[in-house]
Structure 1
């Protein structure tokens, strides 16, 4: 488990490094990055959260394309998932040791979060391949893979949320549900931003067909 977490953190670092290599120090450029992020985030389901998480990177990274924004959004999503996984894992161990009721629910949720992290990891790796390939049939195959994996990651997070009741619950369970909801919302936003990126290239390909 620790090895998996380290591997994912390294992938996350590489993804953010990819973005940072595109950075330009000009203040006007960074202002345009913030404006671009804010405008793009308004098309997502949770725009306030999207702007909150992504705009902070505009201070160090120039974001001016759907591809860059998709990389950033997916990196943020997996970071939130890893953070939440560590918290839920800690809680699960404490509940198991004390034999408190509710351990199974938390354990099941943890399994869903782990699945979500794996799907997001695959999507980030696949998105990296997209930047290395020319637009063609294989390119769109990679796009479909990313969309499938991010959708699956969102489903996993939503399944975890379904484990918790809608009404009154303990403070601990409410905290877990809040953190997982945060992951689901960040992933939903990432999926929406990736859809914008994918739509751009599908439209480009369609206009080139005879």
Structure 2
């Protein structure tokens, strides 16, 4: 049930990315969008961050580092799953063709993206546990787990990109590289927003007697 809710959340985010809401709705959530805009400034790709997350701010109130980290990681997982599905289709087509060398490159990249999907899924589950945790020592352990998994997902996406060196490439190769690059960028943004949340969580834990 929780996983279904996550998918519905991400689909809603994706739909709102390309839509506009009525003026009253925009005014009602302008504070959320202002908070999201300020938060996205700490990321490496602020425009991409704002493009995805501000649309979520239009649909509901979001004003905490935890909410932003949750949505950002959900977007990363969705993009990774979408890219994996596309590459699976490409790999099957190439396997039956004569482009065996190219097939192996796609297959190797696909393995990296598959790992990214698993690691992002684990990080989202761990973030939920972190939001419910009250014991300081366990909080730091959960923070470390999320950081490790999201960093690994980003590394795997970057490793996949290394499978496609150079700038001169065919349309299919360029499409794959573009999708994987998008996964890497949204994951980088998610990691930055999680670090912001983790710092707030750390300070709150240290204030406890």
The two structures share one fold, judged by TM-score above 0.5: yes
| Number of residue pairs matched by the alignment | 197
- What corresponds to 2:150 in structure 1? 150
- What corresponds to 1:3 in structure 2? none
Does the 8 Å contact 1:30/1:58 carry over to 2? Answer: yes
The answer to whether structure 1 residue 181 and structure 2 residue 181 are counterparts is yes
Does the 8 Å contact 1:153/1:187 carry over to 2? Answer: yes
- What corresponds to 1:203 in structure 2? 203
- What corresponds to 1:12 in structure 2? 6
Query: Counterparts of 1:30-179 in structure 2 under 5 Å?
Result: 30-100=29-99, 101-179=101-179
More off after superposition, 8-17 vs 156-165: 8-17
Q: Distance in 2 between matches of 1:57 and 1:153?
A: 23
Q: Distance in 2 between matches of 1:9 and 1:204?
A: 28
CA deviations on 1:31-72 (whole Å, 9 max, x unpaired) are 111111111001100000000111111121211000000000
Runs of 4+ that moved beyond 4 A: 14-17, 25-29
Change (3 A) 1:176 1:10: same
Q: Structure 2: which 5+ residue stretches go unaligned?
A: 14-23
Q: CA deviation at 1:194?
A: 0.1
CA deviations on 1:105-144 (whole Å, 9 max, x unpaired) are 0000000000000000000000011122215111111111
Instruction: Report SS of the residue matched to 1:107.
Output: helix
User: Please, what is the CA RMSD of the aligned residues?
Assistant: 2.3
Scaled by the length of structure 2, what TM-score is found? 0.87
Q: CA deviation at 1:11?
A: 6.6
Q: Distance in 2 between matches of 1:120 and 1:58?
A: 22
Q: Structure 1: which 5+ residue stretches go unaligned?
A: 1-6, 20-24
Q: CA deviation at 1:174?
A: 0.8
Q: Distance in 2 between matches of 1:54 and 1:118?
A: 22
- What corresponds to 1:4 in structure 2? none
Q: Distance in 2 between matches of 1:80 and 1:16?
A: 10
